[in-house]
Structure 1
Amino acid sequence: MIYRNPLAKKIIIRLLILLATFFLWTLILSGGSYFIVNLGMLILIGVQVHAFVKEQTANQKAISEFLESLQSNSLDTDEDISSEKDPALKAEFVRIKNAIRTSQKEKEAEYQYFRNIVQHVGIGIITFNQDGDIQLYNFAAKKLLNTTYQIKKIQDLELVSPELVETFETLKTGGRKLVQVNIGEEVRQLSVYAIELQLHDKNFKLISIQNIQSELDEKEMEAWRNLIRVLTHEIMNSVTPISSLSGTTRGMLASQLSEEKSHYTIEHEDMMDLQSSLKTIENRSEGLIRFLNEFRSLTHTPTPKMKEENINLILESICLLMAHDLQNLKIHLVKEFEENLPTILIDRELIEQVIINLLKNSSESFGDETEEKNIWISSNLDAKKRVTVTVKDNGSGIEPEALTKIFIPFFTTKKSGSGIGLSLSKEIMRKHQGNISVQSTLGSGTEFTLKF
């Protein structure tokens, strides 16, 4: 109710006093006319009206100043309140300011809460205005684009990828595009999604980016596995009986040839040729079965049995195992292991398989004209404190066109290679939540890097 308000009560009391004064003056006038009394009553009424007007003017001024302080958002001090003489009005100002401050603090807390969520969410988020000025650039985006330097405008990201910046600027609301970006030694497939926003009559664009490289690799590997399952199933069904029957037939011919008979339905020389042909069929069938079994290993990569391991001890044991073979090939193995590396959670047998495969690939990379054959194997911590293993050689290198395909199943640059070693290595590293990458210069050598 309005009458419970202290200010309203004060105004009502002053009006009642003024009305009482007028009523008293009326009674005096009805009893007779006295100049001094009338003058006194007029002065009393004038004083009351003046006090009332002055008080209302002061209140109006105080309210105006208070509203100006609200408009300028200067709520940090109580100077205007402390100078206010009217206790009721002062108390009302304090109540309103406290309510506004509480509301502002709650909104600020909510803003900081949601800002922290955006900053720490796993999806990269960037917002910028029409001039390219960046308002928000969260930690996930910085990590995805590997930008350690200050980013103020969206054009600064051209150092990472001009195509990416062009995508940011041209995508409209709901637009989506896949952009490949080279970040150091790693290739990242970034899924970019855009939304256009308007705030305070200003246009902004919100960009979300995700690295879907691992998902693409997994889907690609799954497609290869499905293909391999079909191929191996059909080929094995055909080859196995051929191998079995050819072996049985060859055995029957062998038993016939071992017996001395006066005559054969088939010439003896033809029987020998037939036996030799069946032997060839049997050998090639068995070779094809072994070949298919190797491919089948891609579809049955074992689940890693993780244990805390010291990578340097594993590398030392592998170097000891490979030392004899490398010496026979006149290859010098250089070990560069960083001390006091933290232990890592891996399946030792699977990781040994990967590193041995890399060393064998390096040992086969040297041409006949290479005079000094060197392989360097090293371990260290990278800039992100991840344990890293590197296998490097000074062999003939890999052609750029082949370099983009070496992790694809069945692709090989070797005459006798099956093309599954590096594919299997990549699959093993993926199951360890790690990464394998390669750099090569034709004629200078190749370097493989494992990151855990």
Structure 2
Amino acid sequence: MGFNLRVIMHVLGILLTVLALCWILLNTSYYATLLTLTILLSLQVTALIRYVHGTNRELVRFLAAVKYADFSQSFLSPKKSTSFRELGRAFDEVIERLRSTRSDKEAQAAYLLAFVQHLPIAVLALDASGKILISNTALRRLLGRTADLNHLSQIEAFNPTLAGAITRLQAGQEQSLTLTRGHDTLHLKLSCTLLRAGGRQQKLVSIQNIQGELETRELEAWQNLIRVMAHEIMNSITPITSLSETAQHFIREGSRLIRQDGGDLKVGELSTLLEDAGSAVSTIGQRGKGLLRFVESYRTLSRLPQPLPAAFRVLDLFQALEKLMAEQARALQVDFRLSCNPQNLQVVADAAQLEQALINLIKNAFEALAGVSQAQLLVAASMGDLGAVNIEVRDNGCGIAPENMDSIFIPFFTTKRGGSGIGMSVVRQIVRLNGGKISVVSELNKGTTIKLVF
């Protein structure tokens, strides 16, 4: 029986009972019957209310199940009418959609958790109270733990410095740490980002052990240095060895001439031998001086003084450079220009060291511009992103060959005849000591741009 018919029957029953009550009340004095009909009317009204409220109770039960994510429930309407069956089907579709969505999110969360667990970089997420919400296997391996991490205090027990760095780290910041664990030294790089989940702000921190990378780069640096030093030393030792053998030969020949023919000296031949021997010894001396210059260059590279940074106007520096280099530029027929925008631009660095670095770069540019028609060299300073100061040295010279780009900062590497190979190495060391960065963009036969950022 449908819901509407049941309601009509309930209402008709109530009406008949009311009519009977009125008739008995007006025409008889059957008080017992009157009481019975009053009780019956109360029961009929109560039954109608309960019947109508049954759907409401089912709705409350259904929505409570949805509220607490109990998607195993379905809407069970006690009414058999078409409208309630459609309502039940609609609610069941909603439940099925929510169940499917939750399954997808659970699968996605499980995938992401597995992904985080297999990352080679240590990762942890923690809230403002220090409670660790996520930690992966790499973090536990780094800390030498097998059990899960629940609070930052557990990391503090391992190393207070690491825990303090995690606490102080802000969104977008990076920090390097060197820690000692037993007999091992750990070089760590920390990065941080903030995210909001469930209405709570969480800090996501990645901790990367860069010890292996540092060792690899250090080994590569030593190999490059040894390769260049060996090349330079062999270039000097080989002719020295050959010339010393030649000098010994001339001396032996001279001794033989003195002893032969009963001591009768052949002055002309002896003089020629001695001159040749002297020339060989002189060449050996020159190569020895070259080695001394090489060693002195190495000492210069390894003994740069610590900078004394102070704020100064870039325009003042450029004016000093113009006085120093303008004459050489005119002699080389180079269109040499300096530009500073804005003119009150200031940089914090060691002025003397930065001047030396720019002089080295300008001299390199002059050499690259040799033989170039309409040679141009521009040194420009400007304000960069986030208040950084950019200084560019730009020329339209011969450029740098692509195969040499990775070697230009290696000490003693040079492609110039008679070059020391320490100019660019000194420039990079000066820039880094003053807290800056250096980058090079070059195209063969079109020019080079070297950018310093402070």
TM range (shorter): 0.3 to 0.5
- TM-score, length of structure 2 as denominator length: 0.46
- TM-score, length of structure 1 as denominator length: 0.46
